[in-house]
Amino acid sequence: MDIIMIPGLWLDGSSWSAVTPPLEQAGHRVRALTPPGMESKDADRSGIGLRDHVDYVVAAIDEADEPVVLVGHSAGGAIAQQAADARPDRVARVVYVDAAPMPPDSVINDDIPADGGELPLPDWGFFEDEDLTDLDDELRRHFRERSIPSPKAVAYERGELTDERRLEVPSTIICCQFPSKLIAEWIDQGAPFVAEIARMRRVDYVDLPTGHWPQFTKPTELGEALLDAVGRG
């Protein structure tokens, strides 16, 4: 299958490099995207908003000959969701890597400190302990060296969801920081931040206990989980 991989904030397409080998070895066609403004630390990010990133993914979907699997990490999950909303008949499955579909008219994260129109990778103290599980000093150094400021508007602008057919698209949520059991409890409690998951028709859960960046902390396990999820697609 055609697999389109969408990185989270501060990362480009190369962040998936340790994860993709089992997918490629199985014969899948992998395209790891680098969204607009994320080409380098010095790229021009002025004027780039959330819709630009969504449209970039939609264009990649349209270039594929067959329905695709979208894989989105963190903020990339919200972008994958909105791309699936734009092309529900062209997406075979969405895989959310330590991410989840967002309720309509919500933002990715407008608490991240901004520097002008950019969001540099914050100090580690900004993140919760669960985010940083297994991210040792060497991995933190590697992550910070490769990090690229994200366009502020990508995280701050409200998402647009317009097609209810997105709820029919099969989805897999790879749970890292929080186990699937906890997500089920939140759904039962009617928590608003999981309202979109509660409305989705077909959702599978995979528990992969680690921090928020499994592509760095557990790349082999993540690759195997993705291979299984793609097989379902």
Each residue's pLDDT tens digit, 68-101: 999 999 999 999 999 999 999 999 999 999 999 9
Q: Rounded CA gap, 124 and 103, in Å? A: 27
Length in residues, the chain: 233
Beta-sheet strands, E only, within 110-180: 118-119, 150-151, 171-175
pLDDT in tens, 174-198: 999 999 999 999 999 999 999 999 9
Q: What is the mean pLDDT of residues 155-183?
A: 97
Over residues 37-63, mean pLDDT: 97
Model pLDDT, residue 233 = 57
Cβ pair 150, 119 in contact under 8 A? yes
pTM: predicted TM-score of the whole model, two decimal places: 0.96
Q: Which residue has the tokens 């903020």?
A: 75
pLDDT at 232: 73
